[in-house]
A and B are shown apart, each in its own frame.
Chain A
Amino acid sequence: MRHITSITDLSTAEIDELIATAQDIIEQPQKYAEACSRKKLATLFYEPSTRTRLSFEAAMIELGGHVLGFSEAASSSAAKGESVADTVRTVCCYADIIAMRHPKEGAPTVASLHATVPVINAGDGGHNHPTQTLTDLLTIKMEKGRLSNLTVGLCGDLKFGRTVHSLITAMCRYPGVRFVLVSPEELKVPSYVKIPLKRDNVRYDQTTDLCSVLPELDILYMTRVQRERFFNEDDYIRLKDSYILTPEKLEYAKADLSILHPLPRVNEISVAIDQDPRACYFRQALYGKFIRMALILKLLEVTV
């Protein structure tokens, strides 16, 4: 039995295998329609994240399975002070697999220590969110046909953005990937994230200017620059517009650029771009369901 609490729990071969399964599901969904019939997924969401929860639940339903669970701590036993360990022990009596979201870092690890069924981390605070990273990888594979030999721009809050950190960790395993890290000085990638880049001699460049690097990019991964990350309002107002993607800026970009965003978006991508074929972020949400289907199949050891 396996648990997935971090993207590093998966080898590159396993990631490739999950992507291949997801692509097969996209091509012939009917083949998988009964794959998990009579199986139950418990979604234990200690904080609301409608998008992620619906994606997991839709994934299980499309595999012919069922879902149960709670969508916020207030409506769960946690509100009565029950520990994660005890909740998980109980849920294992009813469910075949668990997806857990928790505001505290490491809660899914605690769950995995006590669970008799597989546990998937569906986001633990600012720590890990492996199915988001798998979603990003499948999106890139679907849009570009490969995960190697790509110039990947990451833009916005690169300091606190966990999706950025784990995407870097996952993508630097593929050959020929170059990263372009675009952020204000205050929100640069922390040094520990760059350790694997230096170790594996992965090429990366850092800049504060999105427009100057936009023409080089195959992928542009946008993240939100949040007001609360700045010490003062002036800095925020001065900087925020530099990291907003507009149709004017996009004129500099390649015709086959793929724009990704983990969503929810606030204002960092102008809605005028949504109709542009280069905007992938809504397709990305759809891919998220397919990769979660592939992961559920793998962890339940179901072969189709």
Chain B
Amino acid sequence: MNIDSINNGIVIDHIKAGMAMKIYDFLELGALDCPVAIIKNAASPKLGKKDIIKIDSVLNVDLNALGYIDPTITINIIKDGVRVKKYHPELPEKITNIIRCKNPRCITSIEQELPHVFNLIDREKDEYRCMYCESKASL
């Protein structure tokens, strides 16, 4: 794949420098067959340095959940070599099994089967809390 251009896929831009691998892991890009490019520490007028991820495939995942990891990122959807959509991820009301509750007193610490669900409490502050123990979410 030419890193500059992809035909049908997603370009995740304006990732805070150093966060690309976190997003790579979160989207489980390691499991994909298609070409994936990670560009680290690219020059950015806005951020100084930024990371970029290019995926040459149409992914069937909710990219809004990325908003929790880094709300400043830009998602570009590419179709037939043309950018058809550009947006910032919007914080979802609820995120399931993306982050784990770290509270050792939480019921999720002893019941492995439970989904780890966090509810959006404060959109301005990007604050999520565990639906069981109400602990603040942290990556």
Contact = CB atoms under 8 A, between A and B. Distances in A.
B105 interface: yes
A171 B107 CA distance: 28
Interface in A81-104: 83-85, 102-104
A127 B134 contact: yes
Task: Kindly name the residue among B109, B133, B135 whose own CB sees the greatest number of chain A CB atoms within 10 A.
Answer: B133
B33 interface: no
A107 B105 contact: no
Given A104-B105, A106-B106, A127 B111 contact: no
Contacts of B114: 110
Contacts of B132: 105-107, 109-110
Say whether chain B's binding surface is mostly helix, strand, loop, or mixed.
Answer: loop
Contacts, number: 45
A126 interface: yes
B106 A105 contact: yes
B113 interface: yes
Interface in B63-116: 103, 105-111, 113-114
Q: How many A residues are at the interface, by size bracket?
A: 10 to 19
Interface residues of B, number: 16
A106 B108 contact: yes
Contact of A110 (B103, B107, B135): B107
Nearest to B130: A106
A127 B129 CA distance: 13
A124 B103 CA distance: 14
B131 A106 contact: yes
A65 interface: no
A102 B105 CA distance: 11
A106 B133 contact: yes
A109 B110 contact: no
A109 B106 contact: no
A85 B132 CA distance: 13
Interface string B46-72: 000000000000000000000000000
A83 B133 contact: no
A83 B112 CA distance: 9
Given A106-B133, A109-B132, A110-B132, A84 B103 contact: no
B110 A104 contact: yes
A125 interface: yes
A126 B107 contact: no
Contacts of A109: 107, 131-132
B131 A83 contact: no
Interface in A122-151: 124-127
A204 to B, nearest CB: 22
A84 B107 contact: yes
Given A106-B106, A126-B105, A83 B134 contact: no
Contacts of A124: 107
Task: Kindly name the residue among A106, A124, A126 whose own CB sees the greatest number of chain B CB atoms within 10 A.
Answer: A106
A125 B130 CA distance: 15
A106 B110 CA distance: 11
A104 B134 CA distance: 12
B111 A105 contact: no
Interface of A: 83-85, 102-107, 109-110, 124-127
Given A104-B105, A104-B133, A106-B107, 20 more contacts: A83-B113, A84-B107, A84-B111, A105-B105, A105-B106, A105-B132, A105-B134, A106-B106, A106-B108, A106-B130, A106-B133, A109-B131, A109-B132, A110-B107, A110-B111, A110-B114, A110-B132, A124-B107, A127-B105, A127-B133
24 contacts: A84-B107, A84-B111, A85-B113, A102-B107, A103-B105, A104-B105, A104-B106, A104-B107, A105-B103, A105-B105, A105-B132, A105-B134, A105-B135, A106-B108, A106-B133, A106-B134, A107-B132, A109-B107, A109-B131, A110-B114, A124-B107, A125-B105, A125-B133, A127-B105
Interface of B: 103, 105-111, 113-114, 130-135
The 10 closest A-B pairs by CB, nearest first: A106-B132, A105-B133, A104-B107, A106-B133, A107-B107, A106-B107, A105-B105, A125-B105, A109-B132, A105-B106
